[in-house]
């Protein structure tokens, strides 16, 4: 029997309720889900890769199923091949996401046409959530409790306190 493996890549800085929604639904589509935690230097991470991996592992623990959290720093398709993935899972929030993701899926298909890209729409109530915006709200002392779990909120509040609030 072939194990269907999916890869859900992202920076997860921080992991949001939108990410959790996609992860829980993607886990039902595959036998094994690999969450690939990577760094995008243009996103100015608040947490290290190790911190983000620990955060993701803790948050997905209750979902069940075979979910692995792995860091990577390579082309997504190389990572997916190493993990034995047959699909890349991508979450979509808005039309702007689709345009970018569509282009990426096309490029990835040129690199390896045996790995499919599957798009999952975030739940309507979660569509506005973006890690970048959650970080911005947190940095200015806003309440991020509607966008992340309580434990992630606590980690972010502690990190912002450690960094010193912007705008003061």
Give me the DSSP letters along 92-141: E-SHHHHHHHHHHHHHHHHH-TTSEEEEEEPPGGGTT--HHHHHHHHHTT
What local confidence, expressed as pLDDT, does residue 64 receive?
Answer: 86
Please, which pLDDT band fits residue 116 given cuts at 50, 70 and 90? very high
Annotated catalytic residues are 19, 43, 93, 131
In the predicted model, what is the mean pLDDT of residues 35-47?
Answer: 86
- Please give the CATH topology (third level) of the domain spanning 5-123: Rossmann fold (3.40.50)
Residue 139 has pLDDT above 60, yes or no: yes
What local confidence, expressed as pLDDT, does residue 122 receive?
Answer: 86
**For the chain, which residues make up each domain, given as ranges?**
5-123
Q: What mean pLDDT value characterizes the chain? A: 92
């Amino acid at each position: 029997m072939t194990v269907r493996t999916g890869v859900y890549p992202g920076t997860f800085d921080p992991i949001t309720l939108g990410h959790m929604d996609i992860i829980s639904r993607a886990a039902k589509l595959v036998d094994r889900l690999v969450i690939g935690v990577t760094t995008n230097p243009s996103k100015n991470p608040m947490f290290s890769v190790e911190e983000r991996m620990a955060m993701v592992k803790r948050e997905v623990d209750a979902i069940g199923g075979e979910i692995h959290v792995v860091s990577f720093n390579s082309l997504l398709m190389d990572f997916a091949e190493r993990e034995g993935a047959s699909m890349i899972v991508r979450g979509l929030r808005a039309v702007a996401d689709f345009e970018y993701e569509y282009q990426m899926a096309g490029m990835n298909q040129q690199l390896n046409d045996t790995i499919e890209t599957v798009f999952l729409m975030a739940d309507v109530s979660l569509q506005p959530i973006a890690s970048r915006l959650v970080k911005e709200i947190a940095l200015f002392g806003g309440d991020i409790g509607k966008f992340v779990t309580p434990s992630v909120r606590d980690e972010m509040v502690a990190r912002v306190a450690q960094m010193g609030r912007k705008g003061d």
